Amino acid sequence: MSDYMKTDTKLLPYLPFPRFLLGADLTQTAKVLYAVLLDRANLSRANGWMDEDGNIFVVFPLNKLADMVDKGPSTVKNALNELEAVGLIERRRCGNGMPNRIYVKQPDSQEIDRLMDKKLAARQPENWPSDSQKTGRQIARKLAPNKISNSNLKNNLSGVSESARIFGRYGNVFLTEAELSELQADFPAVWQEYIERLSEYMASTGKTYKSHAATIRRWAKEDRRKGKGGISDYSCKEGESL
């Protein structure tokens, strides 16, 4: 039966939840995952799980991590990509069939400032709305850690639906729930690979597209028509970008 807290009341088991997460520009799933991984890192430290450089690491299979936070594997994977994109974790492969090593990082004061909403509010562009329409600000905050230029940011935002979610390792692929569902249905085996390849391609070349869903669909159909199992060439001639 629930009771009031008193001076001698013992706290329930809890996860370490750093204060900076409260104001950090991260999804709630990413925040919870960071707290879970930080807790597991403390356990790894107690058990002496460290690499040859003395860095503590966590071994946490994706499906078990998804079960712990009661989310689907794809949602958890997106949240892990989000944490890695802003430098809060680092994943290293350990070979075929082996789970990745996850290194949990602690941000310094400058990195914390970059993750906080207050810093963005101080430099809010004049042409953005100041009311409850926050979609542009939220997308801009997601893109800022990836060092996307102002011109590319403007191009990305111009064709993005307010309901679009952010995907990809570099946080630069925008898809609505409907677009994602259609891609998963039409390309069940490779949809996630195409998202990651598009994210990497745009980050490395600086190219932008009006519709990321249409771009992925075009690439996938072209590869299917050519009988290719993956994406071999993303380049396009001048004037051919979607």
Q: 103-159 pLDDT, tens per residue?
A: 999 988 888 888 875 445 444 454 444 444 444 444 444 444 444 443 444 344 445
Q: Are residues 217 and 146 in the same domain?
A: yes
Same domain membership, residue 105 and residue 42: yes
208 contact partners, CB below 8 Å, separation of at least 6? 152, 155, 156, 202, 241
Amino acid 1: pLDDT? 66
Residue 223 in contact with residue 231, Cβ under 8 Å? yes
Confirm whether 126 is domain-assigned.
Answer: no
pLDDT, mean over the chain: 77
- Residues 99 and 153 placed together within one structural domain of the fold: no
- Indicate if 97 and 161 belong to the same structural domain: no
Closest CA to 136 of 173, 162, 106, 168: 162
Give the span between the Cα atoms of 69 and 77, in whole angstroms: 12
Give me the number of domains the chain comprises.
Answer: 2
**Would 116 be classed as within a structural domain?**
no
**Residue 210 placed within a domain:** yes
Domain, as residue range, for 93: 20-109
Q: Report the candidate in 186, 241, 231 with the shortest Cα–Cα distance to residue 208.
A: 241
User: For the residues 172-187, what does the mean pLDDT come to?
Assistant: 87
| Residues 141 and 220 reside in one and the same domain | yes
Quick: pLDDT tens for 47-105: 898 999 999 999 988 889 999 999 999 999 999 999 999 999 999 987 776 778 999 99
Same domain for 139 and 101, yes or no, is: no
